[in-house]
Structure 1
Amino acid sequence: MIQRFIELGEGYSDIYELIEIGRANKHRVARLMALHTKINGQERTSLIIILQPTDPGNFQPLYICREGIPNPHFTPNKRFDMFKVLAEELDKNIIEFDVKPSDIFPETTLYYNHIIGILRMNRYLPPLS
């Protein structure tokens, strides 16, 4: 199984693409996630849509808008509200937890490997096969 993050941006105009990916692939949406972190004193959130693996190919995409949305627990905002509406449309819960910020990793790839490890450990992603 190949699990890979596909970064759309930081959640400004690309949040609309993330929402559209969820709607267009509602039959494949496995999970909706919000990862909260603190960067330079600001509370930020990454929004993620995890799709079911492809068949054939066994590729599982994780679409992300990384750290560009204000944490809704500190600053309510329309972008997170749109994500909540998507969750209601898809009858999914938004899984939320705190993570380290990506800027402490020398490369974004290492950050994504770290997050994939956390998601596997918590059984939000299947293990490697």
Structure 2
Amino acid sequence: MRQKFIELGEGYTDIYELIELGRQMPSRVKGALAFHCEREGKPKSSLALIMAPADKFQPIYICREGIPNPHEIPNTRYDLFKRMTEEIGVDIHEYTLKPSTMFPETELYYQYLIGILRSNKELPRLT
């Protein structure tokens, strides 16, 4: 099964689409994630939803490093994401990681995230 990140944007307004995906397809949401990092000296967070596989493909929708880390700078966008996860009965699993700017290509960053998620059993192994 192929697992792939689908980037909706950086989370400024794209976060509302991510929230709507969770609300419209709660039965497909298998996990909610918050990745925290320091990017360009600022605390940033990415929010993501792991969806149930569709045939041989498992999408992970993400808004990458566009909102402040809510543990350092409280913000409404994170609160709305958290409220949606509570409504659909999914916990947010949080990780502190390297920022995407440390990788020469975004695709390498996403491979790094997939490796972390597999090792933490958030994603199934490749079969």
**Is this a same-fold pair by TM over 0.5?**
yes
**Equivalence for 2:118:** 120
Show CA shifts across 1:54-88 (max 9, x none): 1xx22100000000010000000000000110111
TM-score, length of structure 1 as denominator length: 0.97
2:90 maps to amino acid? K
Structure 1: distance between partners of 2:66 and 2:104: 19
Partner AA of 2:104 in structure 1: P
Report 1:2-81 matches (<5 A).
Answer: 2-54=2-54, 57-81=55-79
- CA drift of 1:90 comes to 0.8
Following superposition, the deviation at residue 91 of structure 1 comes to: 0.9
* Separation of aligned partners in 1, 2:41 and 2:6: 26
Unaligned runs of 5+ in 2: none
Residue 105 of structure 1, CA deviation:
0.3
- Stretches (4+) displaced over 4 A: none
Q: Secondary structure at the match of 1:62?
A: strand
The amino acid of 1:72's aligned partner reads P
Q: Secondary structure in 2 aligned to 1:81?
A: helix
Letter in 2 for 1:11: G
Amino acid at match of 2:121: R
**Any unmatched runs of 5+ in structure 1?**
none
Task: Please report the RMSD computed on the Cα atoms of aligned residues, expressed in angstroms.
Answer: 0.6
Could you say what secondary structure the match of 1:65 adopts?
strand
Return the alpha-carbon distance in structure 1 between the equivalents of residues 53 and 126 of structure 2: 12
Q: Which of 99, 102, 122 in structure 2 is aligned with 1:101?
A: 99
Provide the TM-score with structure 2 as the length reference.
0.98
Q: Percent identity?
A: 56
